[in-house]
């Protein structure tokens, strides 16, 4: 029996509330002082919480596999990312409130910087241009026309945009144009199945027109497409767990993955402080809260060790406000590691903390990667986290006779 089916069978109602606090890209590697960003940060509140909790290390997918943000979050929600696969484009589109039909094909776009002479990518994020700058460029891209296809292009946040193609016979099973590194030219879209050949041709025509429109812009004189996909139709969070779930996130993509599994997305503003206010406003209306913090990941991708440390410290500062609401279960972890030393996602396990009244407290006294190696949870997978949270909230009955 698949775990999703098992959760459907075993879940029961209780009045207990669960908070899943996700610091995007939390995991790190030692910097010049021999400690990770989390170990370097001053986190008295997480450490105090740790001393009455159980901790461990968690692998988003499996050992050695570097996850994208989509698979990392799906796993946190208990959906095996090797079974349930979603494209980033679907998440971006849903995250800004766009609707997808069975005829829709969605892609996440990144504005990027290209060397004018060679055409190679010099900056995959175009210097993280502002959302306002991106919106003006999207207006240009909105003039692209392809016969028989309805095209929607919308700004998302910063350098990101969403592209939706709608037409008969569109299929996913397509490669991305982003080579995921600088010093290379954007790649052509290729069909991975015969059914996707038409979609590949249409997308390559769209990219050709887009590059023509952007060629004189600076710094965003190019764009790439990632996560080209259709809505996979996942089982809803309510059906799987019986939970009324609320998503508190500032970035559209994470709102998108929450909407994809049927969570309600509330207005959370742009800071951890406004996110806490949203949590407080929503507390009586839901029994599960997905609380997402993005900027740990952004700092890691920028290679800014100190900035990542500061974001972790900001989150630690609001821990008492979360605890004042008296959640019955609080889980703190990340979706994947983003070490500043690598400037990218990595395969390294994530520290995870589980706080509840009915736990076996382990002897670990601080929240960090090395300390969590000694934790009572041991080494788990992200898909184990939701069953553990449900069990500690008295929301699962016995399996079998």
What is the tens place of the pLDDT at every residue in 285-311?
Answer: 999 999 999 999 999 999 999 999 999
For the segment 197-225, the average pLDDT, to the nearest whole number, is: 97
Residue 394 scores a pLDDT above 80: yes
- What was the pLDDT predicted at 160? 94
Starting from the edge strand earliest in sequence, which strands make up the sheet with 378-381, in order? 264-265, 245-248, 288-293, 18-23, 329-333, 350-356, 54-59, 378-381
Burial of residue 328, with CB atoms counted within 10 A of its CB: 0-12 exposed, 13-18 middle, 19 or more buried: buried
Q: Is 3-85+236-392's fold the same as 91-229's?
A: no
What percentage of residues in the chain have a pLDDT greater than 90? 92
pLDDT score of 195 more than 80:
yes
Residue 1 has pLDDT above 80, yes or no: no
CA 245 to chain centre: 17
Contact 349, 46 (CB under 8 A): no
Q: Where are the domains of the chain?
A: 3-85+236-392, 91-229
The residue-averaged pLDDT of 191-201 equals: 96
pLDDT (tens digit per residue) in 52-96? 999 999 999 999 999 999 999 999 999 999 998 888 899 889 889
The closest alpha carbon to 337, from 46, 59, 3, 1, belongs to 59
Percent of the chain topping pLDDT 70: 100
Helix (H) or strand (E) holding 255: helix 252-260
Neighbour-count burial for 18-47, b at 16+ CB within 10 Å, e otherwise: bbbbbbbbbbbbebeeebbbbbbbebebbb
Q: Give me the sign of the Cα torsion angle 289, 99, 160, 188.
A: positive
143-174 confidence digits (pLDDT tens): 999 999 999 999 998 999 999 999 999 999 99
pLDDT 10s digits, 241-299? 999 999 999 988 899 899 999 999 999 999 999 999 999 999 999 999 999 999 999 99
- What does the pLDDT read at residue 357? 94
Query: Would you state the pLDDT for residue 85?
Result: 83
Please say if the pLDDT value at position 398 is more than 90: yes
340 secondary structure, DSSP code: T
Whether residue 389 is predicted with pLDDT greater than 80 in this model: the reply is yes
For the segment(s) 3-85+236-392, the CATH number from 3.30.420.40, 3.40.720.10, 3.90.45.10, 1.10.274.10 is 3.40.720.10
The overall average pLDDT reported for the chain is 96
Evaluate whether the domain defined by 91-229 bears CATH number 3.30.70. Answer: yes
pLDDT at residue 209, as a whole number:
97
Rounded CA gap, 277 and 267, in Å?
Answer: 10
Residue 379 confidence (pLDDT) above 90: yes
**DSSP letter string over 161-214?**
EEEEEE-TT----B--S--SSTTSPPPPP-BSSGGGHHHHHHHHHHHHHHHHHH
Cβ distance 302 to 25 under 8 Å? no
CB atoms within 10 A of CB 180: 13
**For position 181, what pLDDT does the model report?**
92
pLDDT at site 337: 98
Cα distance between the two ends of the chain: 16
- For residues 213 and 56, is the Cβ–Cβ distance under 8 A? no
């Amino acid at each position: 029996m698949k775990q999703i089916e098992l959760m459907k069978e075993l879940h029961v109602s209780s009045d207990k509330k669960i908070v899943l606090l996700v610091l995007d890209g939390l995991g790190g590697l030692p910097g010049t002082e021999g400690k990770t960003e989390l170990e370097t940060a001053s986190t008295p509140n997480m450490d105090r919480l740790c001393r009455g909790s159980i901790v461990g290390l968690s692998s988003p997918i499996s050992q050695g596999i570097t996850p994208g943000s989509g698979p990392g979050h799906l796993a946190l929600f208990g959906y095996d990312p090797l079974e349930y696969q979603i494209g980033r484009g679907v998440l971006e589109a849903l995250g800004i409130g766009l609707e997808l039909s069975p005829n829709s094909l969605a892609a996440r776009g990144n504005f990027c910087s290209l060397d004018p002479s060679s055409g190679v990518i010099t900056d995959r994020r175009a210097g993280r241009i502002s959302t306002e700058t991106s919106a003006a460029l999207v207006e240009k891209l909105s003039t692209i026309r392809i016969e028989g296809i309805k095209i929607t292009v919308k700004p998302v946040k910063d350098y990101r945009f969403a592209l939706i193609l709608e037409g008969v016979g569109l299929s996913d099973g397509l490669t991305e144009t982003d080579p995921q590194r600088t010093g290379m030219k954007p790649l052509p879209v290729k069909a991975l199945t015969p059914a996707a050949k038409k979609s590949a041709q249409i997308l390559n025509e769209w990219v050709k027109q887009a590059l023509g429109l952007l060629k004189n812009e600076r710094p965003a004189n190019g764009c790439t497409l990632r996560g080209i996909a259709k809505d996979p139709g996942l089982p809803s969070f309510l059906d799987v767990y019986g939970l009324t779930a609320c998503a508190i996130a500032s970035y559209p993509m994470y709102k998108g993955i929450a909407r994809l599994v049927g969570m309600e997305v509330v207005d959370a503003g742009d800071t951890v402080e406004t996110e806490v206010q949203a949590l407080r406003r929503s507390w009586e209306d839901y029994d599960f809260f997905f609380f997402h913090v993005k900027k740990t990941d952004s700092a890691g991708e920028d290679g800014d060790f100190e900035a990542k440390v500061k974001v972790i410290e900001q989150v630690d500062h609001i821990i008492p406000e979360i605890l004042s609401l008296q959640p019955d279960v609080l889980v703190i972890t990340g979706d994947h590691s983003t070490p500043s030393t690598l400037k990218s996602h990595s395969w390294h396990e994530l520290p995870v903390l589980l706080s509840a009244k009915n736990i076996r407290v382990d002897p670990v006294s601080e929240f960090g990667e090395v300390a969590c190696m000694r934790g009572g949870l041991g080494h788990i997978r992200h898909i184990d986290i939701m069953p553990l949270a449900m069990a500690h909230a008295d929301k699962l009955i016995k399996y079998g006779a």
